[in-house]
Amino acid sequence: MGYEPGDVVSGFSLPNANGGGEVSLDDVMTEIGAVVMFECNHCPYVVGSVARINKAAAKAEELGLGFVGINSNDAANYPEDSFENMEKRAAKGMPYPYLYDESQEVALSWGAKRTPEFYLIDGEGVVVYRGRLDNSPRDAMQATTSDLADAMDSMSMGEAPPVPRTESIGCSVKWKL
């Protein structure tokens, strides 16, 4: 279940912890496409990747792609992932909208399993890449791949990513019981 490369995604509209209001997929999409990332505040794999995630967001912008983060974790059991704590994290310097999927419907429909997990979609809403940022989210010095960046580069040149699907490395999405 969920979206794989070649699938057309459905939209969403969620509250934004980084600037307020609601932000939809249409708001983030460009003619070229967008990166949709499932993330959270407390997972050590996300925490260890923040600088690289921000770099990926800057690269996406340079290539004309939108970029958005979505937190779908159960804040009742993981209070670090509450909307209030999302706002605090965003205030420290997050260059993209950070959306709260309180119902978890977006994570369920997209098939997100881990944080961080990335979906690169083209301007038609088709998934061209799904998976990890790189092969070492907790330690940048150990990374030997740049899977998301490679996929973005390929898409910007009108080519298919060399590897359209990787397994994300991270914490499981914290589902409501």
107-156 confidence digits (pLDDT tens): 999 999 999 999 999 999 999 999 999 988 888 888 889 999 999 999 99
| Cα–Cα distance for residue pair 159/54, rounded to 1 Å | 24
Which class would CATH give 13-172? alpha beta
Per-residue model confidence as pLDDT tens digits over 69-110: 999 999 999 999 999 999 999 999 999 999 999 999 999 999
